[in-house]
Structures are given as structure tokens and as C-alpha cells.
Chain A
């Protein structure tokens, strides 16, 4: 474990990164609303795309990081890795909530419905619920060693589950717009829109790093406090 001083310094660094990212988020909003062309068919509703997609990206990134850290934890058995995996999962939940609220707000004017049991929506919902399960599991376990191992197992299994859910998407009849960025051919988005989207994805990635660093530092500080209390008793 690290010292309290280092944990506090880390929390401050995380705070600074978060602040930087928040300024970036404002910049992205301004650019998306004022300096990016309005989409011909969807009109202004398409603007939410610059929030929805980066949040979906950050949520997915968070969950993948949790999965990878879980593998690392089982290998190295370092408690800090477990805490980092948990921090990433918790931050991922926040992004996932934004993703799952902005989606329906876009869906209502464009699809004519808030929610549809489209494959990707459904599978994202299940992925989200899986991480609710992950965090609930953390909550109901007391022994930190066992908790770390069990959560790592869930994290790894979830990592393997994601591609399968994605394949389920392709086999099931789907309404969700097909990928326009990460696909075999070149991105099919006009230049200005693409720049805004990529900037937004970058900014939200930084925001993810800021949040996770802070959350991790807080988890370390809490552990240190608990240790102190245990030693004092």
C-alpha cells in the first residue's frame, strides 16, 4: 500500500485532470453546437451523438480496463490492482448512465420511441446490469482478499462476455445505427463532424482517467484509514 501523503497527492492530480477534462467538455459542447454542421436528416437531434458516443466509449473502456485489471490482479495478487479495477467499474457506471439516458432522448425524435428492444440496447442494458452486480458483490463481501478474487472472476468473465453480446447483436435484427467509426472501411462521417466526435471521445477519455484516478486515490485512503483504526484498536 502507499502512504497517505501519496494517496492525497494522487487525488489532487486526479482532480486536476478532471478539471482539465471538464473544460474540454465545455469546449466540445460549444464546437458541437456552434461550429459543426447540422445533420441533414436528423437535424439538431443528432447533436446528442457527440455526448452519447463518447460516453458509450468511456463506459466500454472502463469495463474493459476493469476486466484487464482483473486478470492482472489474479496474476500479481496486489490489492491496489483490485481497488483500481473497482474504481474503473464505478466510474464506468456513471458513463453508462449518461449513455443510457442520452440514447432514449435521441431515440424519441428519430425512432419515435424512447426505448426499443433492439439488440444493442438490450445487450448494453445487460452489460450495465452485470456491472451493477459486480459492484453489489463488492458491497456484500467483507473479506478483502476473497472480495478481490471473486470480483476479478466476474470482471474477467464479463470481458469475455462482451464480444459474445456483440455477436448476438449482429445475428439479431437490429435498429441501432451501424458503426460508422470502427469498421473495416473508412469512417463515413463528414470531416467537421468527425473532428468534433473524435475530440469529444478524447475529452471523455481524459475525464474517465481523471475520475478513476480520484476514485482510486479515495479507495486507497479509505483502506489506509481502516488500517489505522485497526492498529489503534
Chain B
């Protein structure tokens, strides 16, 4: 078990080390997030719609797009010079590779979210302190779903033509439940209502996380089979 965890961590740290050296994906992901936040701010009639009314949607669209950008990159690293073959040759169990990739992606997407959330608060003039822990919980739950599904799908699309086109096409339908849940809960939180009033949405996202993290971990071996 400890061996297994060590393998997973090694894979995650390898990906993060590559990212740390170049910082290309992080920098572009962040710049992209800021762009989306800014563009969405102007996607309304300012005399009729307050920026706060579109804020929950803007936040989640930004997270979705930024996550997609990061996930697209996750397996391109491995396709260059057939690096994945080398990883497979090490004999690390397939599922440990999944957990490694999952953790690496989670750290990457989480980092982009952690930086874009304060920017969102700044741009949309939101008072966030009273419900920050609840908001972070909701974001964390939805992000787990985004990353689990994104990890397995990016491992697949990287082996197709038009990979950049295929990932959003396949990924977005799967993000509907966590995305809708995230927007709904964020809107309620911004209205100052407590999270405990909306256990239904929390349960939905929680169950979704459980189902799709398990499914992705199980099916990942099938994807990597040669």
C-alpha cells in the first residue's frame, strides 16, 4: 500500500516538477482565466444586470475553461517522445499512474483556481469572507469531479487526431452536474444563505465525485492497455 502511494506521488511530483521548470501551462492557464473573467464581466447590460448576478456563472465558466486548458496538457507531456511507454515500462500499476496523474492535475487546477478566486472577488466586487469556507468546499468538490473525468478523457484524446477539439467535446457533457451544482450553490452562498439549506446539491456533487473518481480509476487501466 505504501509502495503504491509512493508510485502515485512520484508520478504526480514528476508532472509538477516539469510544470515548475517551465511554468508555461500555469502562466497561460492563469492568463486565460483572467481573460475569461474580464470578458464575461462585459457580457451583460450594465444598466440592467448587476455584475453580482452573473458572478456565479462567470466563476464556474472560468474554472471550467481553465481546467480544460490544464487537462489538455496533462497527457501531451506523455505523448512527446513516447514518454508514456517509459512510464508503463517501469511496471508501476496502471491505477497508481491514474492516481498520480489525478493528484498532479488536481494540484495544477487547484493552483489556478486558488489564484483566480481572489481575482474574481476583486473584479466582481464580492464580499467573500462570511462564507469562504463553504465556497472553498463547493469548489473543491466540483474540482475533484472535473479532474477525475478530465484525467481519463485526456489520456484518451491524446491518442486521437484533433485532440484539442475532442477533449472539450467529450468532457463538457460530463461536467454538467458538478457545474450546475457549483453555480447553484455559489449563487445561494452569495445571497447569504447557509450551505446546510442545500444539502441536495451537496449530496449530488458528492455522489457524483464518488461515482466518477471510482469509475475513472477502474477504467483507466483499459485506456492504457496496449
- Among B159, B173, B200, contact of A130 (Cβ-Cβ < 8 Å): B173
Q: Chain B contacts of A153 at CB under 8 A?
A: 152, 156, 219, 222-223
Q: Tell me if B13 counts as interface (CB < 8 A to partner A).
A: no
Q: Chain B contacts of A123 at CB under 8 A?
A: 176
User: In the complex, A157 Cα to B145 Cα: how many Å?
Assistant: 13
Q: Tell me if A232 counts as interface (CB < 8 A to partner B).
A: no
Q: Chain A contacts of B169 at CB under 8 A?
A: 129, 132-133, 136
Decide if B176 touches A126 in the complex (CB within 8 Å). yes
Interface residues of B in 161-194 (CB under 8 A from A): 161-162, 166, 169-170, 172-174, 176-177, 180-181, 184
- Among B161, B162, B204, B225, contact of A167 (Cβ-Cβ < 8 Å): B204
Q: Chain B contacts of A136 at CB under 8 A?
A: 166, 169
- Say how far B97's CB is from chain A's closest CB, in angstroms: 16
Q: Chain A contacts of B222 at CB under 8 A?
A: 74, 149, 152-153
Q: Tell me if A101 counts as interface (CB < 8 A to partner B).
A: no
1/0 per position for A97-126, CB-CB distance to B under 8 A?
000000000000000000000000011001
Decide if A168 touches B181 in the complex (CB within 8 Å). yes
Interface-lining segment among B24-32, B60-68, B77-85, B207-215: B207-215
Q: Tell me if A160 counts as interface (CB < 8 A to partner B).
A: yes
Q: Chain B at the A interface: mostly helix, strand, loop or mixed?
A: helix
Q: Chain A at the B interface: mostly helix, strand, loop or mixed?
A: helix
- Say how far A29's CB is from chain B's closest CB, in angstroms: 33
User: In the complex, A169 Cα to B204 Cα: how many Å?
Assistant: 11
Known A137-B160, A140-B161, A146-B159: A157·B215 in contact at CB below 8 Å? yes
Decide if B177 touches A168 in the complex (CB within 8 Å). yes
Decide if B159 touches A129 in the complex (CB within 8 Å). no
Interface residues of B in 106-145 (CB under 8 A from A): none
Q: Tell me if A150 counts as interface (CB < 8 A to partner B).
A: yes
Q: Tell me if B149 counts as interface (CB < 8 A to partner A).
A: yes
- Say how far B212's CB is from chain A's closest CB, in angstroms: 7
User: In the complex, A154 Cα to B201 Cα: how many Å?
Assistant: 25
Q: Chain A contacts of B156 at CB under 8 A?
A: 137, 150, 153-154
Q: Chain A contacts of B172 at CB under 8 A?
A: 126, 129
Size of interface on B: residues with Cβ below 8 Å to A: 30
Q: Tell me if A171 counts as interface (CB < 8 A to partner B).
A: yes
Decide if B184 touches A172 in the complex (CB within 8 Å). yes
Interface residues of A in 150-184 (CB under 8 A from B): 150, 152-154, 156-158, 160-161, 164-165, 167-168, 171-172
- Say how far B151's CB is from chain A's closest CB, in angstroms: 12
- Say how far A126's CB is from chain B's closest CB, in angstroms: 4
Q: Tell me if A197 counts as interface (CB < 8 A to partner B).
A: no
User: In the complex, A127 Cα to B176 Cα: how many Å?
Assistant: 10
Q: Chain A contacts of B200 at CB under 8 A?
A: 171
- Say how far B100's CB is from chain A's closest CB, in angstroms: 19
- Among A129, A133, A140, A157, contact of B149 (Cβ-Cβ < 8 Å): A157
User: In the complex, A12 Cα to B176 Cα: how many Å?
Assistant: 41
User: In the complex, A126 Cα to B176 Cα: how many Å?
Assistant: 8
Decide if A129 touches B161 in the complex (CB within 8 Å). no
Known A141-B160, A153-B222, A172-B184: A165·B176 in contact at CB below 8 Å? yes
- Say how far B213's CB is from chain A's closest CB, in angstroms: 12
Show 25 residue pairs from A and B whose CB-CB distance is below 8 angstroms, ordered by the A residue.
Answer: A74-B222, A126-B173, A132-B169, A133-B166, A133-B169, A133-B170, A137-B156, A140-B160, A157-B149, A157-B174, A160-B211, A160-B212, A160-B215, A161-B177, A164-B204, A164-B208, A164-B211, A168-B176, A168-B181, A168-B204, A171-B181, A171-B200, A171-B201, A171-B204, A172-B180
* 3 A-B pairs closest in CB distance: A130-B173, A126-B173, A133-B170
Binding site for A on B (CB under 8 A): 149, 152, 156, 159-162, 166, 169-170, 172-174, 176-177, 180-181, 184, 200-201, 204, 207-208, 211-212, 215, 219, 222-223, 225
